[in-house]
Amino acid sequence: MLHYPVTESAFPTRRPKAFRHDAVFYGGERGFLAAVLPFVSAAVERDEPVLVAVLPAREQALRNELGPASRQVEFVDMESAGRNPARIIPVWHDFVSRHAGGGKALNGVGEPIWPERTAPEIAECQRHESLLNLAFAAAGSFSLICPYDEAGLPADVLAAARESHPHVVEDGKRHASASYCGVDCIDVADRRPLAPPHEIQVERAFDARDVTSVRRDVTSWAAANDLERARADDLALAAHEAAVNSIRHGGGRGALRLWRDDDSLVCEVADAGELHDPLAGRSLPAPESANGRGLWLINHLCDLVQVRQTPSGAIVRMRQQLHRSP
């Protein structure tokens, strides 16, 4: 077993009084272990709950180093759970809620960005990282570190990590990020336009009289573009939910656009509505709530979901990969 020293500046021994959200920069596999293993080991030694959400290879490397102590750590496959980054915050919500009454500090490791992520996925991961500061502002004693591979990620991604994390850890030292822009930056980011679509294959308006046809049109189009049946049905159901939201909250009408983007099919629903909650769709509404289930369902049906506010209204862009690995 390798030895990785823990520095007090990187991992203070005092229990945090509020949510701590740090970007931890490392290089390569050995650098990952040097950056993450001390944090996890210290949590285990203190008998505190710890959840690690990383790629399977990273999980196995940590298990090998932890040995029998790995049984005290919860692991989540980030490649699966975080395929759509909007599904990551629910993982942390579940972890926090399960341990909320235990009286112990909570610890997490989440690595949502890796070099093979597509540009739209990275954009949503960056939005997710900013939203964490809002979602867990009142979580109390919860420390979450987010590893970033300096050897494999471009400079602009590393710069964005400094903007979304109040503190960063570099060379074993923790310090405040001079680039951190706080939760106020979330609204600014959400108003940045999405990348323009490739050649649009289908474009049509809908209202309450023909909203049910949206699902049928998406199903037929997805099948014609060789998306497997079950995933085509998921995309169609997501489009239907988005269209129903347009009827209820977006002025009673909307627009549907469909196109192919490299190895993905993209479905977009736009309307004249206004988004008020940046965390919408990232927590399951209470049973008695009449609203909020649409975006939650959409996030769990699609490989990637992008929700944005434009000068003319709201956009929900849904994506399914054509040849997704199981």
Q: What is the pLDDT of residue 8?
A: 41
Q: What is the CATH number of domain 20-190?
A: 3.40.50.300
Q: What is the pLDDT of residue 12?
A: 56
Q: Count CB atoms within 10 A of the CB of residue 308.
A: 18
Tokens linked to 53: 């959400």
The pTM for the full model equals: 0.92
pLDDT tens for 251-273 read 999 999 999 998 999 999 999 99
Start-end of H helices in the chain = 28-45, 56-66, 78-81, 88-99, 119-135, 155-164, 184-190, 212-224, 229-249, 293-301
**In whole numbers, what is the pLDDT of the chain averaged over residues?**
92
| Cβ within 8 Å of residue 128, ≥6 positions away | 85, 86, 88, 89, 112
**Rounded to whole angstroms, how far apart are CA atoms 35 and 151?**
14
pLDDT tens for 288-324 read 676 778 999 999 999 999 999 999 999 999 999 998 7
Q: Where are the domains of the chain?
A: 20-190, 200-321
pLDDT tens for 100-130 read 888 999 999 999 999 999 999 999 999 999 9
Tokens linked to 18: 């509020």
Q: What is the pLDDT of residue 1?
A: 39
pLDDT of 241 above 60: yes
Class of domain 200-321: alpha beta
| Cβ within 8 Å of residue 21, ≥6 positions away | 132, 133, 136, 144, 146, 165, 166, 167
